[in-house]
Amino acid sequence: MWHMAPLPALMSTGDAQREFGFSPQTLRNWARQRLVRHVRTPGGQVRFYREDLEALFQPIEPEPADRKAS
């Protein structure tokens, strides 16, 4: 019996924006400039490798509710 390696986790531009705080345009520019690894879906959408984004950037921590301006 053979085992397949797990597929890498991919993120859409929207997912990457929510988790890391980058604008979709910045992510698309980086993909176009080949600064980050990415793949295109059959429909032409861009997906980024989660592990690459995690290695380069830290997620944005939301500000605690008691510190937000009213």
Asked if the model's pLDDT at residue 64 lies above 60, the reply is yes
Q: What is the pLDDT of residue 5?
A: 64
DSSP-derived secondary structure letter, 33: T
Asked if the model's pLDDT at residue 53 lies above 60, the reply is yes
pTM, entire model: 0.65
- pLDDT, tens digit, 9 for 90 and up, residues 12-51: 999 999 988 888 898 888 888 888 899 999 999 989 999 8
| Residues belonging to the chain | 70
**Would you call 49 exposed, middle or buried from its count of C-beta atoms within 10 A (0-12, 13-18, 19+)?**
middle
Q: What is the pLDDT of residue 49?
A: 92
Q: What is the pLDDT of residue 2?
A: 63
DSSP-derived secondary structure letter, 42: T
Rounded Cα–Cα distance for residues 67 and 8 (Å): 37
